[in-house]
Amino acid sequence: MRTEKEMLDLILTVAEEDERIRAVYMNGSRTNSNIPKDIFQDYDIVYVVTETASFIEDENWIKIFGDLLMLQEPDKMDKQIGMDRDFKRSYGYLMLFTDGNRIDLHIEIKDSMINGYVSDRLTVPLLDKDNILPIIPPPTDIDYQVKKPSEPLFVSCTNNFWWCLQNVAKGIWRDELPYAKLMFEYSTRASLDEMVSWWIGTRYNFKVSTGKMGKYFKNYLPEPYWVMYENTYSDKSYENFWDSIFITCKLFRTLAEDVADNLLFTYPIDDDKNMTKFLKHVRYLPSDAKEIYK
């Protein structure tokens, strides 16, 4: 597997030797000093070019970066299904190589760069032949740090968590596994993960990032809470699914009450009690029941 130095040297050498490429910058995880480096980190690279057409027309030019295991061209695919994409302004290549390295490369003209270069604060300039890149401060992950919630946002999260669980419950009762699982993951877990992030934020004065999709939760949750979080995942068994639901409720309740105390919010204890009682009832409701309550 090529080293970081070898990859960056290659990326810059290609740019230096191609007159169409006028500047290079990098963003993403490799510019964030607050996260550990590992072998799966992408190289998120942007080439600022004089025009895009000649690159797009030459489908083989990207082979200069190595032997491809797989390629994705998201802009091309978007356009093929009818979405509006202006190839004259920018174009992207997501490249996975046979040695395991990955480059997410975007080419864009100067006008496109001006609009987006300063918006991502995890950006590092690598090459600027014409001094066209704006002056920016050193990279920071401040935009990715957990944001302190307002009370209406907290209320919305807690309400959504308890409300959507009735959809999960009826999905299980109806033996609609895909519906129940997806409702849990897209609604219940979304609310849980939001609360987990806020709880971590209160412990670190909202100056920490929990990572995309909560990938750093394990780093910040105390061991007992992390074990509970692990157990919010279950298999196809409905009994195990129900067990995970009540573990999820316990974890959410514990964290939400702490967040409420810390931020001087009010936790909706009545919603909690009422829905917990409802869930326990539905769990043992016969599959041929004609009424939810008699």
Look at residue 22 and give its three-state secondary structure.
strand
- Say what the pLDDT of residue 119 is: 85
- How far apart CA 157 and CA 269 sit, in angstroms, is 14
Identify the band that residue 57 occupies on the pLDDT scale cut at 50, 70 and 90.
very high
Average pLDDT of the chain is 96
For the entire predicted model, the pTM comes to 0.91
CATH class of the 145-283 domain in this structure: mainly alpha
Residue 66: is its pLDDT beyond 90?
yes
Q: Give the CATH fold of the 4-143 domain.
A: Beta Polymerase; domain 2 (3.30.460)
pLDDT (mean) for 153-173? 98
The DSSP bridge partners found for residue 93 are: 105
The CA-based diameter of the chain, rounded to the nearest angstrom, is 79
Q: Could you tell me which residues come within 8 angstroms of residue 125 by beta carbon, excluding any fewer than 6 positions away?
A: 23, 24, 25, 133, 136
Token pair of 260, please?
A: 């409420």
Q: Report the sign of the C-alpha dihedral through residues 21, 27, 31, 35, in that order.
A: negative
Residue in this structure with the two tokens 């190289």, named with its chain if needed:
43
Identify the band that residue 118 occupies on the pLDDT scale cut at 50, 70 and 90.
confident
DSSP letter at 134 equals P
Q: What are the extents of the domains in the chain?
A: 4-143, 145-283
From 28, 94, 25, 93, select the one nearest 55 (Cα to Cα): 93
CA angle 42, 52, 105 (to 5 degrees): 0
CA angle 86, 60, 57 (to 5 degrees): 35
Torsion from C-alpha of 252, 257, 259, 261, nearest 10 degrees: 180
- Say what the pLDDT of residue 31 is: 92
Q: Could you tell me which residues come within 8 angstroms of residue 139 by beta carbon, excluding any fewer than 6 positions away?
A: 27, 31, 32, 33, 121, 122, 123, 124
